Structure 1
Amino acid sequence: MTSVEVKHMKEKLWLVMIVIVFVLAGCTNTPQSDAESKKMTLHSPSSMEKSQIHYATISTATLSAIGDVLIHDTVYNDAKTDQGYNFTPIFQGVKSHLEQADITVANSESIIGGTEIGVSSYPTFNSPTEVGDAMKKVGVDVVSMANNHTLDQGIIGIQNAIEHWDRLGVAYAGAALSEDEAKNICTVTKHDITFSFLSFTYGTNGIPTPTGQDFLVNRIDRDKITSDISRAKKISDVVVLSLHFGNEYERMPSAEQRELAHFAAEQGADIILGHHPHVLQPPEWVQTSDNRQAFVAYSLGNFLSGQENLYRRIGGIMNIKVEKQTTALGSSISIAKPSFVPTYVTSERAGNYAIKPLKEINDTYYQHIKQHMRTWIPDLSFAY
Structure 2
Amino acid sequence: MAKRYCRYSVLLILLLSVACSPAADRSAPLGPSSSEPQTRTDTKATPATPPLPSSEPAAPAERRVTLAAAGDVLIHRTIYEDARTRLNYDFRPVFETVRPYLEEADVTFANQESITGGTALGLSDYPAFNSPFETADALRDAGVDIVSMANNHTLDRGERAVHQAIRHWKRLGIEYAGASENEADRKRLRIVERNGLKLAFVAWTYGTNGISRPPGKPYLVHLLEQERAFRQEIAEAKKQADAVVASLHFGTEYARLPSEQQRKWARLAAAAGADVILGHHPHVLQPPEWIDNGNGGRTLVAYSLGNFLAAQKRPAPYVRIGGILKAELRKPSGASGGKAAVTVGGVRFLPTYIRFQAWRGYRVIPLSQASEAELPGVRGIREEIAAHMRRWMPELLVD
Normalized against structure 1, the TM-score is what? 0.85
2:243 is matched with 238
- Count of equivalent residues: 337
Residue type at the aligned position of 1:240: V
Counterparts in 2 of 1:364 and 1:52: CA distance versus 1, 3 Å:
closer
3-state SS in 2 of match to 1:195:
strand
Counterparts in 2 of 1:51 and 1:100: CA distance versus 1, 3 Å:
farther
1:377 is matched with 393
1:341 is matched with 350
Among 279, 285, 294, the residue aligned to 1:289: 294
Deviation at 1:54, TM superposition (A): 7.2
3-state SS in 2 of match to 1:147:
coil
Among 323, 328, 335, the residue aligned to 2:330: 323
8 Å CA contact 2:356–2:362 kept in 1: the answer is yes
Among 189, 196, 199, the residue aligned to 1:192: 196
Comparing both structures, which one devotes a greater share of its residues to helix?
1
Among 73, 96, 100, the residue aligned to 2:100: 96
Deviation at 1:294, TM superposition (A): 0.3
Q: Unaligned stretches of 5+ in structure 1?
A: 1-46
How do 1:33-112 and structure 2 match up within 5 A? 56-112=60-116
* 2:231 is the counterpart of 1:226: yes
2:132 is matched with 128
Counterparts in 2 of 1:306 and 1:324: CA distance versus 1, 3 Å:
same
1:312 is matched with 319
* 2:158 is the counterpart of 1:154: yes
CA RMSD, aligned part only? 1.8
How do 1:133-282 and structure 2 match up within 5 A? 133-221=137-225, 222-282=227-287
8 Å CA contact 1:143–1:170 kept in 2: the answer is yes
3-state SS in 2 of match to 1:110:
coil
8 Å CA contact 1:358–1:365 kept in 2: the answer is no
8 Å CA contact 1:345–1:354 kept in 2: the answer is yes
Deviation at 1:332, TM superposition (A): 2.6
3-state SS in 2 of match to 1:332:
coil
Deviation at 1:225, TM superposition (A): 1.4
Counterparts in 2 of 1:53 and 1:327: CA distance versus 1, 3 Å:
farther
Show CA shifts across 1:291-338 (max 9, x none).
111000000000000111210000000000111113368643110011
3-state SS in 1 of match to 2:202:
strand
Normalized against structure 2, the TM-score is what? 0.82
Show CA shifts across 1:273-300 (max 9, x none).
0000000000000112211110000000
Among 358, 366, 384, the residue aligned to 1:357: 366
8 Å CA contact 1:318–1:338 kept in 2: the answer is yes
Moved more, 350-359 or 52-61: 52-61
8 Å CA contact 2:231–2:268 kept in 1: the answer is no
3-state SS in 1 of match to 2:237:
helix
Deviation at 1:183, TM superposition (A): 0.2
3-state SS in 1 of match to 2:361:
coil
Task: Measure the CA separation in 1 of the matches of 2:281 and 2:336.
Answer: 41
Deviation at 1:83, TM superposition (A): 1.4
Moved more, 219-228 or 57-66: 219-228
User: Which runs of at least 4 in structure 1 moved beyond 6 Å after TM superposition?
Assistant: 50-54
Counterparts in 2 of 1:165 and 1:52: CA distance versus 1, 3 Å:
farther
Show CA shifts across 1:139-170 (max 9, x none).
00000011000001111100110000000010
2:7 is matched with none
Which one has a bigger Cα radius of gyration? 1
Residue type at the aligned position of 1:322: L
Show CA shifts across 1:106-131 (max 9, x none).
00000000000000000000000000
Residue type at the aligned position of 1:292: G
8 Å CA contact 1:53–1:328 kept in 2: the answer is no
Counterparts in 2 of 1:113 and 1:58: CA distance versus 1, 3 Å:
same
| Seq. identity, % | 46
